[in-house]
Structures are given as structure tokens and as C-alpha cells.
Structure 1
Amino acid sequence: MLFERPMVFVDLETTGANAESDRITEIGIVEIDGDTIHEWSTLVNPGVTIPKFIQNLTGISDEMVANAPSFEAVAQETLKRLTGRLFVAHNARFDYGFLRNEFKRLGIKFSATALCTVKLSRKLFPQHHKHNLDAVIQRHNLPIDSRHRALADVKALMFFMRHLNDSLPLESVTEAINSIIQRPALPAHLDPAVLDDLPESCGVYMFYGTNDQLLYINKSSNIRKSIYSFFSKGIRHSNEAALAQQLQQIAHIETVSELGALLTETRLMKEHQHLHTTRTAKRNDLCTWQMEESDNGTLIPKLKYSRDLDFGGIKNLYGLFPNGKVATKALRSLADAHLLCHNLLGLETQPMGKPCKAFHSKNCLGACIGVEPIASHNARLKAALFKSQVQAWPFNGLIGVKEIAPLGARIDIHLIENWCYLGTIANINELDMQSIKHCKASFDIDVYKALSKQIGSGKLDIVYLDKITAN
């Protein structure tokens, strides 16, 4: 029977979606010990105004919580009901995160093993697409009187677990639960509590050693999953073993999207280049072909490196390559595919008027010896390079790429100019032009790849800041 283990079903109503800045307005708890069930709920005065759309969603108004106890007043009662039980909630990281933050503000350390019924539903019923509480209630015909009130929602979770207990093999349900609540084996010197606050959202995570020495940086679409995976897969390389031995602390930075995670990682990489010397070296070798016109009008590709040239502000650049060797190989392949003259492209150094080797092998139409007009060769070269042209920065100057998290829990405005990432702010009032002007950011291929296609698609919320920077 599933309920042999003490469980506590939890649902909260809150003023918003951010566990750090928003507050709890209602707590609903159902405790189960075998056949014994205890229900408890209370409104909570959050100490802040409840947004109107949250009031409309939950039915909890400012007037209703005006005379309700604060969380501090119900903290000990809440803690008593949670302690020593499997913490069960729908989207458990939300409820668990809010309670941990509320307890933390009071100097109370709270930790529990959490079971998310969203994940449980996905594991047991993978054929279904929707696993929100409304979908679960409807799919399994769970008895419920109302929605978006804490005790009513938490009862629905209890009924869901009863349904699983009655309708599915116990072994299947138990296996699914254990796979969800299983925690990775951490190094013995690391406090397991470091895993409790990890979000299941985009961002960047960092590993620190003694004296706050930064050891490792990585971006992720799911911070919690990535860190769990790091420790669950086992140590496979000597450098991972050394990292695990030195690790003393784990930190993370949440972002609205994977774009924000990439940009944040880019910033941190540049600030801590000693951690990624190989990647830094590769960035310094980044190169492209720039078309230059000779005295007789011949277009000649010249290899340019990002360390010497700002790729973002120039229009006649073609291809982005990790080093000169790769760039030359790509140009040679292009020439062979389009019967272009190797000599005019600088791939050979035959004397003027002499045919290139490609002409002898019938891979050149003879521009090197005047058989093909230079204008024709130029036109074919441009056509061959067209798809690989590096997109020049399409704005007059600085822009912001605005991202808003669900329910407005977070706003990020990423500052970009000439494919250079300059930082992230929460609102325009934070824009510090003096700092921007002195920023030494340079063209970043990762930023370019992430944004170049999206900018023309209309999918990004662009904030035009060039007028602000001109003032």
C-alpha cells in the first residue's frame, strides 16, 4: 500500500510565482499515516498587496487575508505537520521552494524529500500530453468541489494517489515514485541541502572550491536536472574526480530562457577566462573571409580574425571559422564546387597569366588566363558566398532583448550591440551608459548564432536604446 509511508500533501496559494519576492496567502495540508488522515488549512497575511489577477484566479482578496496570521505566526504549526513526511505536491518545486524561503526568512532550516505529482503522472501515463491538475482531475474523474483554493487542490492530490493505489500495480507506482525522489550521491564533504534549492529552470550553475574559488561554469535548460545528472552518472574522467574533490559550494543564476542562460554563461566565461583557456584560445582564432577589390577589379577573399576586426559592424564578411586552416579548406571546397579560380582566390600563387592547377583539372573556367571575364568570376564568387554571408548588425546601436517570465515573475533586458553582449538589466532605469561605453565586449559567435536568425523573425521583443544612448 502506498500510504504505509507517512506523507503530507501540500498546496499553497501565493501572490505570484517568484519564491524569493512573492509570499504565501494560503496553506492547505493533508497528512496521511496509514488509515489516519488529518486536514489543515489557513489563510496567511502576506504583508503585501495581492495582484488583482491573482485575486481573480484564487478568489483570495486583500480583505480576506487582512486579519489572517502571518507566516511567522503559523510557521511552527506548519513545520510540525511537514517534518518527517514525504512532501507531495503538484509541481512540487513551487510549493517546496516557497516554504523553504518563508522558513529561511525566519532563520528556520527546512528540508524534505519531495515528490512531484506532475512528474509522477508523466511517468505513469506517458501517452497523455497534459499533466496539469485540471487534466489529472478530469482524466481520472477525481472528486473535487472547487479549484485554486489550497485545501481543495491538495485533496485532489490525495485522491489521485488513492486512484493510483487502487488501479495500478503497486510495484509500478513504487518504482516511479522512487525514480523521482532518488537523489544523487554527493561527495561526502558536501552538504546534501545544496540540492534543495536547485530550480528546474534555465540558467547557469557554478561550482566553487575553498575560499570561494570558482571551479566550473555551465549553462543549462534545467539547472536541477543538469546538476543531478553530473553527480548521478558517476565520475568518468580524472578532471571530474578532481572537481568533485575540490567542490565546496554550488550556486546558480536563473534566467527567463535558454538565450539568457547562454548570454550569462558568455559573460561569466569572459570574466573567468582562466577556467576555459581552450575555449578562449578558440575564440581568439575565430576568423572570416572579407572581400577586397584589387586594382583591376578582382574580388579577393582576405582572411580576417576577430581579435583584429569587429565582425559586427562590417557587411562584406563570409563564413565564421574556428581557425585559418578550417577557413582555407572551406574556401577550397567552395572553389571546386563552383569552378572558381584558385589563383584569384589566393589558394595558389601562380604567376600572372599562367593557368592555375584547377584549370588544368577542369575545375576553373579560366579567369586566371582571361578566358572568363573578371566581372563574371566576381559575380559567380558572390553567388557562391551568398548563403554564408555574416549578417551585419542591423540596428543603429544598442538594443535590448526583453524577456518576461510567466506571471511577470522576472523581467530580463539583455543589452546587445554589434553582436556583443553587454549585460542584463531588469528595467531601463538601470541602464548605465558610462559602464556600457567602457565595456570591452567583442563579437561573440555564440551570441551571433543565438540571435541572428531570431532577430529577423519578429519573435524577439526588441527595445530600441539607440536614442537613449545618444542623449
Structure 2
Amino acid sequence: MYWLPDLVFLDIETTGGTPLFDRITEVALIKIEGGEKTVVWESLINPETPIPRQITGLTGITNDMVQHAPTFKEIAGDLFSHLEGMVLTAHNCRFDYGFLKAEFKRLGGTLRLQTLCTVKLSRRLYPHVTGHSLDAIMRRFNLHANDRHRGMGDTQLMLDFLEAAKKDLGSVKVLDAINYLLKGPTLPSWLDHTIIQKIQDVPGVYIFYDDGDLPLYIGKSIKLKTRVLNHFASDYKTVAEMEISQKVRRIEYRETAGELGALLLEAKLVKQMQPSYNRLLRNVTKLYALRLSNQMNDLPWLRIVNIEDLDPESLDYMYGIFKTKKGAKDLIHKLADEYKICLKLLGIEKGIGKCFAHQVGKCSGVCVGQEKHELHHLRLKMSLASYKLKAWPYAGKVGIKELNPDTNKTEMHLFENWCYLDTVDSDVDLTETVNTKYSLKFDLDIYRLIGKALSNTRNVVEFDKSDLAFI
């Protein structure tokens, strides 16, 4: 009986998780037309790059297996003939579709398909169930895969899931759910739809406002339009997501050149605007760190300092970030116990003479002259090594340039002593920012963001070593 629109179920295997760099090693598909299986097609693909060992461990596809397989260019025509005019159906469809688009783009083509994600379908059909991965679905319906983590095995598993759902819920309910997902999100009538029509799938930040024109939620994405529309897809993971979609009355958006720019702008706007549904990136003043004294006679050797008082230029002597003073004290006790550090020198225990820990064999005796202070201090410093905050590795201000090749939008993000200064898009603004003296304030979110961004030193511009040319 016909109960499905025309779909092509597809699964790919790849050399990794990033379409920009990784390549496809296998494609398998099953074509359903008029409710009947019309095409079963699969092929190994030579990715023209080595397959990492951990990927082979997962999929079983080795470099030897693909050595004489066709390249994607050689199978692209056949593959496209099976995809053209069909609804691409995959588990976590964004992954498979992203790789297919990247491969066709390398050949100078543009792949545009309507998509159906079976993860979203499972969530819609079974909203109260936890776990919608293929493994979870296999356990739920007692399904079996002939070759899990291979293209055809996982493709057939998706079909088996639909058949099981049809028997469990009925064909009509499954078809209604599929048609709902294919129709896409229904935008509330009170929203200005022209704004959403203007948004493109580019990196950036969006701002939702409530009926009082107060900021409700700020989000970021490398695909703005898709992310904004997802808020209205009724595929809610939390109550908060549902509440946001119901309360939003106005939308603003700001395009950035890349993901880093979106992350920085989101963090900046959340702290400035304090939207009611953003909690992780809000200003948090009650954070603490441990400051290590660098002088033997400067007691106590460890002091708990408020993050507000943290000088970005003195991070070389700072350790850990703690949400409470108790968390900082707990670490001090843990290290003292593990490395036999004297609690008197750490400022935890008062009085003169031997400490209590020494009496029970948990202090090396520095408090009674049985160990030199210098050696004791060195052991304390070594015990703190894994908690150390990194010192700023540059002489002054640096920049990271981002370019979106699709839109040619270019931005330079400027930093100093782990602090975010500004983002500029012109030589004039760049010169002004580099020459301006900023009042620096430590921010944990920015510290973490910059740490990741600066790990790729090829993108870093040191302004004391280069001219101030933006392009």
C-alpha cells in the first residue's frame, strides 16, 4: 500500500566529521517511489586521502579496500541521477547532506535537495522517549543490522525503523509526521516574515525580543536562517525552547564573517543585553581563582581572589577558576593531602609550631624545619600545574582575521592579554583599535574562546611585527 512520498534513503561513511577537510569513503542508498523499492545502489569511494585508524576501527573500511575504488568524481553522475528530484532521507541528515554538498561543490556543482531527517522523525513520533540514535532505535524496536556503521546496513536500518513505526503507530500517523517535517516550520502569524526572508544561511547572531521589546534570547550559528527557523519546527528538546518560540515577537540578526566572530558577538551581546533565556554567557562576578605567592616570606602562599580583581597581565601566577570559595578551598585541601603541603603555609591553619597534618604524617615537616621552604614551594607549584591559567603569549595586541569565501565578508578580531577588544572590518577602524589603550577586564568565556582560536597560530597577526593593513 502506498504510504510514503518518493524518498531516497541514504547513508555515507567518511574519513572524519568535517566536510571542508574530510572526504566520503562509501555511499549507499535505497530509492522508494510510489511506496515501492525501485533502486538499491552502493559504492565504496576512494577519498584520495588516508583513512584514519580510528575511523577504520568504527566502519571497517580500510585504505586497501578503497585503493582501487572509483573517486567521487567518477560516481557523481550516477549518484546525482538517483538523488535528483527526490527527498534525501538520512539519520542526522545534516551530516550526510553537508558532505554531499561539499563533494559536488569541489566538482563545481551545487546540490540542492529537500531533506528529511529520521532523527527528527523519531523525536516527533516518540516525543517522550529518550534516545533517538540508530543504536537506541535498534534497542527500542529490537531491530538487527547486518552491517552496522556501513552504508547499506545503516540505510536498511532506517527503512526497518519506518516499518516498525508504521506497525506501532499506524501508517497515517507516520505519513502525517513525514509530511509535517517536509512542510517545514510554520512561522507564527505575529512575526514579521519579511525579516526571516532576508536572513541568509551565513554565520552570525540573532536576537529574539518579547512583546515588551525586551531581549528574550540571543543565539549564534554558522547557518543563521536554518537555526532561526529551527526554533519554530515544533521539534523541542526542552520546555525553554518551546517557551522561546511562543514568546518571540521580533527578530534582529547580525551577520559575521565566520564562526569565531559569531561566538564573540554572542558572548558580548549576552553580557550587554542580559536576555532572560541566556544563562551560560551572562556576566558572572562570583568566580574565584587561586593566586600563588612567588616569595617564600609572602604568606599565605595561596590566596583566593575574586575574578573581578584578576589582572589579565598577572595570569602567570593564577590557577583554576571556581564558582565558589568553597570549591577553591576544597582544591587546596586536596592538593595539601595528596602532595603533603603544609596547611599553615597555605593560610588554612593558624598557630605556631608543627601543623596538625604533620602530626598525622600528612605534611613533610616544613613547619618544623624538616624541609626547605624552597623545595616545599616548588612541590606546591608542581601540584598546581594542571590548573594553571596561561600567560598571554604575545608582546601586545594580536588579531585573527576571518573571511567568508561565499560572501567575501572579512573581519579582524582583536585581543590583548586574553581580553577581547573589538571586531573591525576596515583599515581605519583597525588602526584606531590597535592604537587605543583599553581598560582590560578578565572574562572567563572570552579566555576559553581565545584559547581555542589562538591554537592555530597561522591565523594570528601580531601588530608589532606587521603593518596595519586589513586585507
Task: Calculate the TM-score normalised by the size of structure 1.
Answer: 0.58
Partner SS for 2:293 = strand
Q: Deviations over 1:115-134 (max 9, x none)?
A: 99898265699889941386
Give, in angstroms, the shift of residue 300 of structure 1. 0.3
- 2:287 alignment partner AA: L
Preserved CA contact (<8 Å) 1:298 1:378: no
Q: CA deviation at 1:403?
A: 1.6
1:307 aligns with 2:308: yes
Helix, strand or coil at the partner of 2:301: strand
Given that 2:236 and 2:242 are in contact with CA atoms closer than 8 Å, whether structure 1 keeps it comes out as no
Structure 1 residue 320, shift from structure 2 partner: 2.0
User: What does residue 100 of structure 2 align with?
Assistant: 131
In 1, the alpha carbon distance for the partners of 2:379 and 2:268 equals 40
Give the Cα–Cα distance (whole angstroms) in 1 for the partners of residues 228 and 452 of structure 2: 30
Superposed, 1:112-151 pairs within 5 Å as 120=88, 122=90, 130-132=99-101
Between the aligned partners of 2:277 and 2:467, the Cα distance in structure 1 is: 33
Task: Quickly say closer, same or farther: Cα 1:362–1:320, change in 2 above 3 A.
Answer: same
Report the CA distance between 1:423 and its aligned residue: 1.6
CA 1:134 to 1:314, structure 2 compared with 1: closer, same or farther past 3 Å? closer
Which residue number in structure 1 is paired with residue 432 of structure 2? 433
Give the corresponding residue for 1:401. Answer: 400
Assess, with a 3 A threshold, how the Cα gap between structure 1 residues 213 and 128 changes in structure 2: closer, same or farther: closer
Q: State yes or no: 1:217 paired with 2:180.
A: no
TM superposition shift of 1:383: 0.8
Q: Does 1:249 align with 2:250?
A: yes
More moved, 360-369 vs 171-180: 171-180
> How do 1:332-371 residues align onto structure 2 when only pairs under 5 Å count?
332-349=333-350, 351-353=351-353, 355-371=354-370
Asked whether the 8 Å contact 1:367–1:373 carries over to 2, the reply is yes
Instruction: State which of 443, 460, 463 in structure 2 corresponds to 1:462.
Output: 460
How has the CA–CA distance of structure 1 residues 335 and 453 changed in structure 2, closer, same or farther, with 3 Å as cutoff? farther
Q: What letter matches 1:357 in structure 2?
A: F
Shift of 1:192: 4.9
Q: Which residue of 2 aligns with 1:140?
A: none
Structure 1 pair 298–376 and aligned structure 2 pair: CA distance change class (3 A): farther
Instruction: Please name the residue that 1:285 is paired with.
Output: 286
Q: What does residue 150 of structure 2 align with?
A: none
Partner of 2:374: 375
**Is contact 2:210–2:216 with CA below 8 Å preserved after alignment?**
yes
Aligned mates of 1:412, 1:295 — CA distance in 2? 47
CA distance change for structure 1 residues 183 and 127 in 2, over 3 Å: closer, same or farther? closer
The corresponding residue for 1:270 is 271
Q: How far apart are the structure 2 equivalents of 1:469 and 1:307?
A: 34
Question: Retained in 1: the 8 A contact 2:422–2:433?
Answer: no
Q: Per-residue CA shift, 1:61-95, capped at 9, x if unaligned?
A: xxxxxxxxxxxxxxxxxxxxxxxxxxxxxxxxxxx
Q: SS of 1:216's equivalent?
A: strand
- CA gap of 1:324–1:311, structure 2 versus 1, over 3 A, is farther
Q: SS of 1:345's equivalent?
A: coil
* Distance across 2 between alignment mates of 1:117 and 1:340: 70
Residue 240 (structure 1) shift: 6.1
2:317 maps to 1:316: yes
Question: In the alignment, is the contact (CA less than 8 A) between 1:399 and 1:417 conserved in 2?
Answer: yes
Match of 2:383 in 1: 384
Kindly state the Cα deviation for residue 421 of structure 1 after the two structures are TM-superposed: 1.0
Q: Is the 8 A contact 2:217 2:275 kept in 1?
A: no
Give yes or no for contact 1:204–1:217 (8 Å, CA) kept in 2.
yes
**How far did residue 360 of structure 1 move?**
3.4
For structure 1, the residue ranges without an aligned partner over 5 or more in a row are 6-114, 138-146, 159-167
- Mark the CA change 1:274 to 1:202 in structure 2 (over 3 Å): closer, same or farther: closer
Tell me how far apart the structure 2 counterparts of residues 213 and 263 of structure 1 sit (CA, whole Å).
Answer: 21
Structure 1 residues 116 and 267, CA, compared in 2 at 3 Å: closer, same or farther?
farther
Q: Deviations over 1:339-387 (max 9, x none)?
A: 21122111222x121x333323432222222222211211101111122
Distance 2:352 2:231 in 1: 60
**Shift of residue 263 of structure 1?**
0.7
After TM superposition, give the deviation of residue 416 of structure 1 in Å.
0.8
Distance 1:362 1:425, change over 3 A: same
Bigger drift between 389-398 and 403-412 goes to 403-412
The 1:179–1:337 alpha-carbon spacing in structure 2 relative to 1, beyond 3 Å, is farther
- Are positions 1:415 and 2:414 aligned together? yes
3-state DSSP of counterpart to 1:393: coil
How far the C-alpha of 1:315 sits from its partner, in A, is 1.8
State the identity %. 29
Range with bigger deviation, 361-370 or 209-218: 209-218
Task: Name the residue aligned to 2:260.
Answer: 259
**Which amino acid in the other structure matches residue 120 of structure 1?**
L
Q: Work out the number of aligned pairs and report it.
A: 335
User: By how many angstroms is 1:218 displaced?
Assistant: 2.4
Alpha-carbon distance in structure 1 between the residues aligned to 2:102 and 2:282:
50
C-alpha change, 1:207 and 1:461, in structure 2 (3 Å) is: same
1:189 aligns with 2:161: no
Contact 2:203/2:224 (CA < 8 Å) preserved in 1?
yes
Q: Distance in 1 between matches of 2:462 and 2:86?
A: 40
Deviation of the 1:260 alpha carbon: 1.9
Q: Closer, same or farther in 2 for the Cα pair 1:449/1:181, shift >3 Å?
A: same
Please give the TM-score of this superposition, normalised by the length of structure 2: 0.58
Paired position in structure 2 for 1:54: none
- Indicate how the Cα distance of structure 1 residues 136 and 425 shifts in structure 2: closer, same or farther if over 3 A, else same: closer
More displaced stretch, 288-297 vs 174-183? 174-183
Structure 2 CA distance for partners of 1:177 and 1:274, relative to 1, 3 Å: closer
In the TM superposition, residue 259 of structure 1 has moved relative to its aligned partner by 2.2
Higher Cα Rg: structure 1 or 2?
A: 1
Deviation by residue 1:171-206 (Cα, 9 ceiling, x = unmatched) = 999899747634234444224555444444543221
